[in-house]
Structure 1
Amino acid sequence: MKPNPIELSIPTTNGNLHKPLVTSNHFILPVITLALLISVHLYIGNFSDLRLISTATPAGNSTDDAKCNIFQGTWVFDDEKETYYTNETKCIIDDRQNCMKYGRPDTDFMKWRWKPDKCELPEFDAVEFLEAVRGKSLAFIGDSVGRNQMQSLVCMLASEAYPIDVSYTNDTRFRRWEFPTYNFTLIAIWSPLLVKTRDQNPTNFTRNSIMNLYLDEADDTWTSQIENIDIIIFSAGQWFFRPFVYYEKGEIVGCHFCNQENLTDLTVYYAYQKAFETTFTTLLNLQNFTGLAFLRTFSPQHFENGDYNNGGNCVRTRPFEKEEMHLDGYKLQMYLTQVNEFKVAQNEGEKKGVKLRLLDTSDAMIMRPDGHPNHYGHPASDNKSFPDCVHWCMPGPVDTWNEFLLEMLKMEGDGFIQRSTQRNTTKLNLR
């Protein structure tokens, strides 16, 4: 796969392009010249600098150290880097992500560490994390990639405190772990689209089955559980590419890959934007939620030579360099769609006393085509399995997400969650 060049026009969620424009009938010539020079400088800069969306720093924190964006950087090879856990550690690594258990021959993918441009990202400290969340609960809400991060965190914490599985079901999509020494609870809630869905033919469900997606109704699987949870991490992405019929206010508004001539073909970006609008509006309208909520951004897949079902794979054994690969095309569109909705919600959250933060992993992970299981996430006997270029090997680059998470919790400072009955509970309307 040849990496695409950086695009200077910025796609919006409706497919149009925003291009900078400098015009004035009143400026004198030197001012116009200066303005043009500034525009050219912006054009030739790194595209990620133009987005001006992501922030690793909580609002109001203006110290010099906090100005470092931990999400902008490069991967640096460190031959002495040790993993936080192994496939023999006393924690559960799903076989689908247990690359070493099923014979992946190379190990360099575990030796790369993330180096922010203007600071260092400390190694994960299990004691420090558990002290930060002592007496609290944390829920991962979303799809299997979110569960991938949750499983990574459980294993990273297991070096300090043995996790106890207290799940109420055998369904691995819903897990509940307790760390009694720290009175900390870790939860996984399966809600891959964040809004309500219904299988049109639940008895014959396949990857290509058409599902009904109710874009203005949040999934009560998570809404019914989170009001007393302290920290929430939302994530969703890959499921939105499957066939859907879209509903709003109980009526069909269009579809995606449904092949029905009488329905308007709407883009995946339309549904993605609506789903996150509904998610954040619902969160802000919950009367009793006074915690801290994160959006973990779009996790890119790295299929090359075809799709998952027609010869695609991910066989690279080293990361892309910063100059080789950037978010572009549909991956950039997905990123911008969710992050723009996040920024709207963050502004509203400040008025209502709800903290929303961006766990901006997309730029780092677009450079890690080497970090997926490919065919090493399944037993060797399972030779009919599809390659997995969506999830992440454990241990592997997904552990960096939890290094990010710890740094963000530290940025919040002591007492970052205040239980209060004084929250502004004015209802927000969906736009």
Structure 2
Amino acid sequence: MSSPLSSSVSSPSVSPPPPPPLPSSSSSSSNDVNNSTVAITRSDKKCDIFKGEWVPNPDAPYYTNTTCGFIPDQQNCMKFGRPDTAFLKWRWKPNGCDLPIFNPAHFLDLVRGKSMAFVGDSVGRNQMQSLICLLSRVDHPIDISNTTDDRFKTWLYANYNFTLASFWSPFLVKTKEPDPNNNHPVGLLNLYLDEFDEKWTAQIDRFNYVIISAGHWFFRPVMFYEGGHVVGCSICQHKNITDLTTYYGSRKAFQTAFRAINGHDRFNGTTFLRTFSPAHFENGPWNRGGYCMRTRPFRSNESRQEWFYRELYKTQVEEFRIAKEEGRKRDVRFRLLDSTEAMSMRPDGHPNRYGHSQHVRVGNDCVHWCLPGPIDTWNDMLLEMMRMDGGRSSDEKYSSRELRTR
């Protein structure tokens, strides 16, 4: 089956990566957060699919940059000459059970007649691109977008009446470019922490599943507004404005995003929070020679998250818990797709300098993920969570032999 998707699909430039590590603090690690878990039952045992190790998988990858035409250049590591391929040969193994490899036929059957939206930044769009590539073993979508803006795309799997969409909202809340008439530092975005970003909040009633994610953009200089007035800033170094920190802005933004979902009268779908995906810059930040050249995963006892990543993760999970409790009162479902620990162990999976021609001089990308690559595991997790909600065994209907003959 030929793909209608062009291999030259453009993508906006990468999100600004976080700053270099700051002095350590006593903030709790991700392991200290008693987050929601997804239990897989195997022989009457349950386990948390988000805790585990990366183990060899000789059968991977399940698509390539020649079989999937949706991979943008920024994540097309093979196209631009990445010399090693061992980073492709791993799968996530939870402690005490197995996480099934993504089964595209099963996924498309579960979402038949339904719709799914990815809301957030370019890392969230990275997951959607992975999903389309994983589904390409079974079917290809058609572009039904009502805009030429690649940040807002809608795809239809006509054979399954399944709609897939992406909404660009890197802060999840309303933003504006700075007013040149205000005496604010140049380049600061205005972030309205208590106002909905209606580009996505006004449309979520169209979707059965909404996957929310954000994080890296909060590490850039921003001005915070609440109630229409400046209340502070982050990384602005303005002597007359209070520095309220990155985590203040992140927490408030997630509060507002979750309030939009819980307060929407017509939305009765399921919201997934995909937790923060750490970057892996070494030798400095992205614009000062930072790189990510490792070729194998960390073990769980090797990986280490910088304190500012742990703090951002912690605020997300805390606000998720509050929203989930509120959602129970309104019969709105929230699920936590906790990818942070698994991805903190994959310093080998980023494009680094293989997301562009070697003749182009740009910073290394240690934020996004090669396709194929470790990010495909997010969709393994997503399908397992949907399967658990649906109450069907992933082995019940779709065998590997059937999949190969499709």
Which TM-score bucket, shorter chain as reference? 0.7 to 0.9
Cα distance in structure 2, aligned partners of 1:157 and 1:267: 40
Q: Given that residues 91 and 158 in structure 1 are in contact (C-alpha distance below 8 angstroms), is that contact kept between their aligned partners in structure 2?
A: no
Partner in structure 2 of residue 37 of structure 1: none
Q: Percent identity?
A: 53
Q: Which runs of 5+ in 2 are unaligned?
A: 1-20, 181-185, 393-406
1:340-380 CA distance string (max 9 Å, x none): 00000001111100000000000000000000000001122
**How far does the alpha carbon of each residue in 1:156-211 deviate from its partner, in whole angstroms, 9 at most, with x for none?**
11110111122222222111111111110110110010001111169xxxxx8101
Asked whether 1:113 is paired with 2:95, we answer no
Q: Is the 8 A contact 1:91 1:154 kept in 2?
A: no
What corresponds to 2:52 in structure 1?
73
Which residue number in structure 2 is paired with residue 272 of structure 1? 250
1:370 match: 348
8 Å CA contact 2:210, 2:270 repeated in 1 = yes
Contact 2:55 2:93 in 1 (8 A): yes
Residue 361 of structure 1 aligns with an amino acid whose one-letter code is S
Q: How far 1:284 sits from its partner (Å)?
A: 0.3
C-alpha separation between the residues in 2 aligned to 1:338 and 1:82?
31
Match of 1:146 among 97, 109, 124: 124
Secondary structure in 2 matching 1:407: helix
TM-score (norm 2): 0.86
Q: Which runs of 5+ in 1 are unaligned?
A: 12-46, 203-207, 416-431
Structure 1 residues 201, 83: closer, same or farther in 2, change over 3 A? farther
Within 5 A, what are the aligned runs for 1:7-22? Answer: 10-11=27-28
**CA distance in 1: counterparts of 2:234 and 2:390, whole angstroms:** 44
Correspondent of 2:377 among 378, 382, 400: 400
> 1:286-335, CA deviations, whole angstroms, 9 ceiling, x for partnerless residues?
00000000000001000000110011000111111110114341111010
Q: Deviations over 1:36-76 (max 9, x none)?
A: xxxxxxxxxxx65542123124xxx9997573110100001
Which residue in the other structure is 1:228 paired with?
Answer: 206
Cα pair distance change 1:247/1:201, threshold 3 Å = closer
Alignment partner, residue 159 of structure 1: 137
Native 8 Å contact 2:30 2:310 kept in 1: no
Give the match for residue 77 of structure 2: 99
Q: Which residue of 2 aligns with 1:321?
A: 299
Relative to structure 1, the CA distance from residue 117 to residue 389 in structure 2 (aligned partners, 3 Å threshold; closer, same or farther) is same
8 Å Cα contact 1:148/1:392 also seen in 2: yes
- Taking a change above 3 Å as real, the CA distance of residues 82 and 96 of structure 1, as seen in their structure-2 partners, is same
Q: Is the 8 A contact 2:286 2:365 kept in 1?
A: yes
* Corresponding residue for residue 56 of structure 1: 38
Deviation at 1:217, TM superposition (A): 0.6
2: distance between equivalents of 1:258 and 1:49? 31
Summarize the Cα distance change of 1:378–1:280 in structure 2 as closer, same or farther, 3 Å threshold. Answer: same
The alignment status of 1:301 with 2:283, answered yes or no, reads no
8 Å Cα contact 1:305-1:313 kept in structure 2: yes
User: Tell me, what secondary structure is at the counterpart of 2:348?
Assistant: helix
Backbone CA RMSD of aligned residues? 2.0
Greater radius of gyration (CA):
1
Q: Could you tell me how far 1:228 is from its partner in structure 2?
A: 2.0
Whether the 8 Å CA contact 1:359–1:404 is kept in 2: the answer is yes
CA distance in 2, matches of 1:219, 1:165: 24
After superposition, the Cα gap between the structure-2 partners of 1:68 and 1:414, relative to the gap in structure 1 and judged at 3 Å, is closer
Q: Which runs of 4+ in 1 moved over 3 A?
A: 7-11, 47-50, 61-66
User: What pairs up with 1:237-248 in 2 under 5 angstroms?
Assistant: 237-248=215-226
Contact 1:110 1:397 in 2 (8 A): yes
For 1:8 and 1:218, how far apart are their aligned partners in 2? 33
- CA distance, structure 2, for counterparts of residue 406 and residue 269 of structure 1: 30
